[in-house]
Amino acid sequence: MSEEKDLEQQVCEEASEEQSELDELKAQNAELKDRYLRANAEFENIKKRLEKEKISALAYANESFAKDLLDVLDALEAAMSVEASDEVSQKIKEGVKNTLDLFMKKLEKHGVKAIDENAEFDPNLHEAMFHVESKEHESNQVVQVLQKGYKINDRVLRPTKVSVAK
């Protein structure tokens, strides 16, 4: 009988050891599963962030080039403001206008657009060159546009330079 109890006790001890080993393995498994899920979630987040960065890089890849072309655009607009009195001058001015229109269409095709000349000053879109007293304008309204501003997609390439009413 004592042998039977010893055997029974030994079986119980072995079962207890196996149960504790099983519990330990379950805990390790749960920890590894948690680490796997966290690593997988982190990988997915990195993938999404890189995709956003890639889209942003593609959308704004031409930003520097477009910024350089703004001087050409300004020159064409300045040529449009010159008075044309004779027929030859009018033909030249018409050619400049056609070139300017084509140039703007090509820029717009690549996301470059003029900033709307709002009546209200917006520091995100405008650069106040100076403030003026004006009875015709309310405070913080744009009185005069000194240089047109442009955006590429939703990013400002060059702010509109304006004078603002006090």
- Residue type at 118 in one-letter notation: N
Reading the block at residue 28, the tokens are: 């390790």
pLDDT at 140: 84
Domain range 63-165, CATH architecture: Roll (2.30)
Classify residue 140 as left (phi > 0), alpha (psi -120 to 50) or beta: left
pLDDT at site 1: 63
pLDDT of residue 160: 92
pTM for the structure as a whole: 0.65
Predicted pLDDT of residue 150? 94
| DSSP symbol at 117 | -
How many CB atoms are located within 10 Å of the residue 119 CB? 12
DSSP-derived secondary structure for 94-162: HHHHHHHHHHHHHHHHTTEEEPP--SB--TTTEEEEEEE--SSS-TTBEEEEEE--EEETTEEEEPEEE
Q: Are 159 and 138 in contact (CB under 8 A)?
A: no
Q: What is the pLDDT of residue 23?
A: 92
Per-block mean pLDDT, blocks of 10 residues, the chain (166 long): 76 85 93 95 96 85 88 92 88 94 93 85 89 83 89 91 89
